Amino acid sequence: MIFSFFSMLVLLGCSQNPDDIISQWKGKGWSFVATHGKKGEVKRTGVLQSDRAQAVEAAWVEHGKRKTKLYPQSSHHYAVLRFIKNDQDEFVVVMKKRK
């Protein structure tokens, strides 16, 4: 568990390029679902995922306004890759993997 968490930090710390991070997740068996928000230069990244939650909420910021979309985890697990831009707006990439 600790190794997995550490691997995630290292994975996201090595590259700020969204396409590289998405490719790494695809390499682990995850599929691309959607991008929410406007892509731009990335300042930092984060991940939201849960194997136990009934749903995962994707939240992003466009022009200072927060927007959300809920992804129920009935047949798939969802992961939200979060990208914070220099202007403090955010975009997210949603990935899924069959349970």
Output 42 or 7, whichever has higher pLDDT: 42
Lowest mean pLDDT among 1-15, 17-31, 84-98: 1-15
pLDDT over 50 at 86, yes or no: yes
- Tell me what pLDDT residue 16 has: 75
Q: List the end-to-end C-alpha distance of the chain, in Å, as a whole number.
A: 18
Q: Which domain holds residue 15?
A: 2-98
Q: Model confidence over 35-84: pLDDT tens digits? A: 999 999 999 999 999 999 999 999 999 999 999 999 999 999 999 999 99
- 3-state class (DSSP) for residue 78: strand
Query: 64 near 89, Cβ under 8 Å?
Result: yes
What DSSP line would sit under 13-77, residue for residue?
HH---HHHHHHHHHHTT-EEEEEES----EEEEEEEE-SS-SEEEEEEEETTEEEEEEEE-SSEE
Closest alpha carbon to 79 in 66, 92, 60: 92
* pLDDT band, very low/low/confident/very high, at 14 (cuts 50, 70, 90): very low
- Tell me what pLDDT residue 4 has: 40
